[in-house]
Chain A
Amino acid sequence: MTARSVSITFAGSGGAGVMTAGNMLLDAAGRAGWHGYMTRSSGAQIRGGEAAAMLRLSTEPVESHDDYFDLLVAIDWQNVGRFSAEIPMTSDGLVLGDPEGGDFPEQISAKGTRRAEIPFKKMSKDIPGGRANMIALGAVAALIGLPEDAVNSVLHEALKKKGAEALTSSEASMRAGMEYAANLPASARLETDGVKAESLWSITGNEAAGLGAVRGGIRFVAAYPITPGTEVLEWLAPNLAKLGGVLVQAEDELASINQIIGASYGGTPSLTATAGPGLALMMESIGLAVASEVPIVVVNVMRGGPSTGIPVKSEQSDLNIALYGLHGDAPHLVLAPNTLADCAFTTQWAVQLAEALQTAAIVLSDQSLGQSRATIEAPADPGFFACRLRPEGPLEGRYRRYLNTPSGVSPMAQPGMKGYQYTADGLEHNEIGTPSSHTVDHSTQLDKRLRKLTAYDYGEHWADIEGEGDIAVVTWGSTTGPVREALARWREAGNQARLVSVRLLSPVQPEKLAAALDGVKRVLIVEQSHGAQFHRYLRAHYDLPGSVRAFHRPGPLPIRPAEVFGQLANWS
């Protein structure tokens, strides 16, 4: 049976090499001209524990997981049952496991899925230096119809540094897996006529966010490690150095946010990346950036909350703190990427906006975008670049850093500019920057800081709008992937519907959303939060036409396309 996409999970105890097998399968699929998407799931253990690499391979671009998995390959069964809810399967699916790999988990057998055995342990013992994960890779490649050449070239690339011995044993293991697959029942296969696209990239969302940052001109980053945002920083560390920029590891998030404010005050476009707990610590100083009008970008890779929550699983529940977490009236930018590739685009746009508007921008990515790897068309550089308004010409009279201009944006001097010395201040201030508690100064500066955001023309990128008809699904961030797929099926079934995925969450764009929803009779809101944060946000700031329903659920389970489809189909 051939399919448009196949979904595979490699599972096993930590150290069994399931992530390596997943990464290689993804890269091999890319070399065969296929698109792919891979998420990872793991237990809380630092090392060991259970791990799963979940892949979806397709001949077309994929942005999310399918409703069900076609294949589950367990190198052993150690605690794999814990992932059961994250690996939905039907009786059409196929579970492969080692008869010596421990007890078959009840949660898996309860699904009624077809089962078959591969003796990983025994087979790897028969091959000098044999590796169970490479046997699994070979078996899966053969089952889904992935050309051997593609797997071989990835294997050579990955193992050339490890020496001939490692390569030989891995190759032998992989081939043994491929040969063994002839004994296995058939599984879903992909068409193999894929042509390798020249411009395919293998990239994670966190790497893409880092790339967007440097494309936008970021050259200073302060970093404090936190799951699942750390990889943004880890990608930036060597790459910023190559560009002549700097990454500094800070002592805590209070330091990292203030270091980037200091560097940006000095004229260098600056960014940090974090996750919920870190964002909460940074809030006071993000307000400082707003009040002192120092541009900064904070990439927040969301995870389950509150408090420490579920650090390794995705959720869209930092929307409220990003929008409303600052004390005082503090208008700022909040943006959200809605695909893995869009992590680059949106972060880069955020850099440009923060710099142009001299304010703080929060970019709300999440674990499912940030820590997933995908094979995608190389995202072109959209050209957004940091461009800060500087004072020009000879200084006439005293420099007014916080001059109340019609646009609300005032020319910003930087240290070294003779005659332009001023004090940036989080205290309310007058146009010069001198602290002031006068009513007129407060209202003037509040108006100015709001006006510069509301008067700016954000153009078409505020949302992705697709389709037509009198039904609309409004969503944001990573849930856009399953919604988009559900709507494709909806249209294939002969229906119509619109998608509105909001990228610019603050400042709000009520006229643009009203136009996007013009003539709509039903609005379905989809989000991954327990408290329906996005639904409430829309209700507070927008007039939604017709009848409105919200489909919201907390993490860690991703929203599946079939669930969104079901919401539309069962709406009577």
Chain B
Amino acid sequence: MNKYTEIIDKYLGGELSTEDKIAFEKLLETNLELKTELELQKQILKGIDRAGIKNELKKGFKKGSFKAKSGKWFLGIIIAALAVSTVLVVKNKLTCSQNNIQYELNEENNKQWNEADKQLDAQVFNITADKDTVIETKGGIILTIPANAFLNNNSNVSGNVELEIKEALTPLDIMKAGLSTTSNGQLLETGGMFYINARQNNTYLSIAKNKGIYTSIPDNNPGKKMMLFDGKRMENGQINWVNPKSFESKLNTVDILKLNFYPLNFLDSLKNFGIDIKNKKLTDSIYYSFVCGQDLTKYDYSSEAIDFDNLDVRSDSLRTKSVQVFGKKVDTLVTINRLDGATLFKQNCSVCHSTGKEKLTGPGLAGVTDRVPKGNWLVNYILNNEKMIKSGDTYANKIYKENGKAAMTVFEGQLTEADVKAIIYYIDDETELQKKSISSPCEIAPSRIHAIWDKKFNNTLLATKEFEERLQAIFKTCNHSILDLYIKNMNKKMYEIDSIVSQMLHEDTWDRLPTFRDFYNRRDGGVSLNEGHMKKLQAYMEEKRKIYDDAVKSAMQKLYEKEKIEDKKAYQQRIAQNNKEGIRINTVFHEELTTNMKEAYRQLGKEYKPTPIRGNYLGITLVSTGWKNVDAYVLESTLSRTTLDYIDKDTGKKAIIRYEPFSVTISEKENYDRVVAYLIPDKLSSFQRMKDTLTGFRENLNELFSYSAVVFGFKGEEIFCQTVKTAKPGSVNVSLSKMSRSEIEQYRNLNAGASRDLVSELNYQLFEQKDQDRKKAIAKREELRKRMWPIVFPCNAYPQQQAVINN
């Protein structure tokens, strides 16, 4: 770190004591470097100030531009009408009588009447004030009048009410009525006008503000921004149109379960994956299985399929192997090292390195073991990086250059190899922890959607096509508080909520139009909802959300636990089978070797005395052609299953044991998940495996035995089988036929030992078959999760790319 930055900062911030300040200023006169640094630092502060001012100004611009844009609303074109306001429910319809009655007083209780009042026919409806009523006028205006909507001097009116409507919705009617279309002298384009008033016993009634009459007017100018003006009678007999109001569209609710509340592209992606998207139960279960905070990386099954054939050679990497098999590290190793590692790291490394991605003097060490060369490279480098750089190691030189050729301490002599390993374990663990914390997005958790995508929310603002659309935009924000805003304001109008959201989401530049402003501009209305009911729904939602969260979390955990146990079982079974198989092969080989020896000695006219073979017979490479011991020839012949053709030079006698090829091809082999073939020799205690080659199953037959062959095919849980009673050199083709488990018993008749082993082999194959299916299913599921992840949590699609900290 630069030695001046701190002191300069204190000097500029006035944090220095008087003496220090004097000393500093004195130093400033002579020390040119300090002077330059001071200048730079002052400028940086100015730069920060500039950036700060700009930021604040921009915030203001955004607000200003938003206001300016919403202001344009008032330039719209117009429908005209008299006193009307909002909303309500529908019960029965009425028809009207028509006559042109002239009253003495108008609705304002004065005698001023206009030409229009005289010219237009009145439609009079008699309604009952304490019932919900819907009426439709001749011109098509629909009025929804809730019960108790009328007031007489601020007290509720019940009983019969006379509702008088006059309408001029066509140009002809407007002309006839002599209605003007000016608003304070400005000419308006009209979509029609109507007049409404209500009376009871010749007393004019007013409309209760908290009820309102929801009025829908036929719109003959779709697309134009019509507004509602109040008419004011003028002394010249004209009407001046004042007080414009925007129309709102009342929303229609639909069955909430028929709406699509999944994130964008969710269903399409599932479909591409071959999932039946019409099965909502299934798609729901997939969606809801994404739990907020669920750690995906911990259970990465796809990388850990166990390769049975190579299992035995891996004992040296058993620690690593077990790490992968059971999905977690060997706890004891990690915990022991962790403590030491943390302390050692702090003492030796933390000055120059962070365990995150942050670069200090040296690079951040998150994920370091993944990026450096494998093997012991990292340990060697930490112990003595100078040596490695000098030795010309490519990677060592690369990072040396990347980090400005800064020297790193040589730890050889200070730290042991075990110490360094402990440090590496510690860094690995930290990396793991960091991964965990960033791979747990809590954007719009599926449980939140689960809680509202529920029949209970039918007939609310959420059960509308309009909300469905907003939800898609909400998903993009990755911000659940936006969703909450809609839920908490379900009794408000949609556009009011849109407007709040739009203002909340001041986006990048102050002149960009965010989606929610577009929504706002549509002026979508609301769905009326009783306050108490809404509160209940919200409480219901909160509670459900938590329950769902916990339920899914524990279900997922149980599932993973179960799989871990099954993995462990399968692993153990494979090891057991591997050991058993080793012994069996060994035994059968010895038996065949003994038979061959006896026969060879017989042919040579000698007596065979078995000598024990030392060491591991499988590793024998002692055999060479110059060796004159017949045992070796027989051994080699038996090992390679090729014909023995030996002449004893002393006696001239020959020993010949023939091996001849036999092969089995299987009809429609590709129809089976897997096929295995065995030879069952009459004189040996167990079976022999045939080699699976491109041209069928092959093996050489020993002329001393007579063989049968058995072929098993597996398809799902079904077993197919065919027996070749007498296997003779040459090739045969067989078709497999289905068999039941009980039929396996028939192989007991072939050869007691062989059939016993065969039954157990078959059982093992069945287990293997089942386990492969299980693995495939898991892999498929995890693949699906990986693929759906970025769709469910769009803002956390690539957690590894998230920069953790500055620079």
Q: Do A and B bind each other?
A: no
Q: Which B positions have Cβ atoms within 8 angstroms of A?
A: none
